[in-house]
Amino acid sequence: MFRYSADRVPVFLVLVFSTIDFIVYFLVDNIWWLMGYTLLLIIPRGVICAWNHHHQHTLTFQVKSLNRILEFFYALHTGVTTNLWVLHHVLGHHRNFLVQVRDESGWKRADGKVMSALEYTLTIAGTAYYRGYLVGKKFPRVQRNFVLYSTLVVFGIALLCWFRFMPALFVFLLPMTISLLFTAWVTYDHHAGLDTDDAFEASYNNTNRFFNLLTGNLGYHTAHHYRPGVHWSKLPELHEKIKHRIPPALMRNARFVFT
């Protein structure tokens, strides 16, 4: 069922958080408790964003329907629906990250200056769906599934809001928005300021064990860009093979974020 056994624990934890979400949605009405729940889950949902990223690079299950179901729950946590990161990130950013005028996650303004983290966050999060859709014009099958399953997520959220609006707002709508902004914010430090045509000099890396445990080795970012199809569990091994080509200035050791 699983393509890689290493995905079993992350998927289990994501489904546990999803179950808790629905329990809170159905049983909690107090607005203060709902606000507290939203704030409490910001960081765990931010971690889930990393696993959704991995899934859209390398599908978790061998069975298509299971992947679609998992993506629905990922969307409720992260604000990122089926194939959005496939288009925006895998088929967009990964192909264009060395050329800022084409990079879907570009960190340069039109005048060539480096964006601030806030400007980058608002720009990338605010245009994510539009840019993903544009990339999809070159990949119509992927685009069709993106539009279809994004529509189903919107329909599902609409039903949840119709049935219990305040719980839906604090358990799903606000967290989805916050998570999308959080995703953009943490990706700023992956490449910002590294203006180069050498892929081994274009990404910051974070070798902290705790950070990589939480994010599925996302800290080995040069290795991830070197071979984006490699499963997250194989990135440390790949990093060891190529780390001699990475400038020491691009190696960091931070517990929660790249910097």
Comparing CA positions, the residue from 223, 246, 245 lying closest to residue 234 is 223
Q: Let me know whether 51 and 176 are in one domain.
A: yes
pLDDT the model gives residue 231: 98
Q: Let me know whether 45 and 133 are in one domain.
A: yes
Q: Let me know whether 37 and 104 are in one domain.
A: yes
List per-residue pLDDT tens for the chain, 259 residues long.
999 999 999 999 999 999 999 999 999 999 999 999 999 999 999 999 999 999 999 999 999 999 999 999 999 999 999 999 999 999 999 999 999 999 999 999 989 899 999 999 999 999 999 999 999 999 999 999 999 999 999 999 999 999 999 999 999 999 999 999 999 999 999 999 999 999 999 999 999 999 999 999 999 999 999 999 999 999 999 999 999 999 999 999 887 765 5
Q: Let me know whether 102 and 218 are in one domain.
A: no
Comparing CA positions, the residue from 132, 237, 239 lying closest to residue 183 is 132
Residue where the block lists tokens 């950013």: 93
Domain, as residue range, for 97: 5-195
Q: Let me know whether 184 and 203 are in one domain.
A: no
- Which two structure tokens, joined as six digits, stand for 78? 């992260």
Q: Let me know whether 100 and 177 are in one domain.
A: yes
CA dist., res. 42 & res. 188, Å (int) = 18
Query: At a CB cut-off of 8 Å and minimum separation 6, what does 212 contact?
Result: 206, 218, 219, 220, 236
- Predicted structure pTM score: 0.94
**Which of 162, 195, 228 is the C-terminal boundary of a domain?**
195
Q: Let me know whether 118 and 229 are in one domain.
A: no
DSSP-H helix ranges across the chain: 8-27, 31-40, 42-57, 64-78, 84-85, 94-96, 117-135, 140-163, 165-168, 174-191, 209-215, 221-226, 235-242
Q: Let me know whether 135 and 221 are in one domain.
A: no
Q: Let me know whether 119 and 220 are in one domain.
A: no
Q: Let me know whether 127 and 88 are in one domain.
A: yes
Q: Let me know whether 201 and 141 are in one domain.
A: no
What total number of domains does the chain contain? Answer: 2
Q: Let me know whether 50 and 95 are in one domain.
A: yes
Q: How many CA atoms lie within 13 A of 122 on its CB side?
A: 5
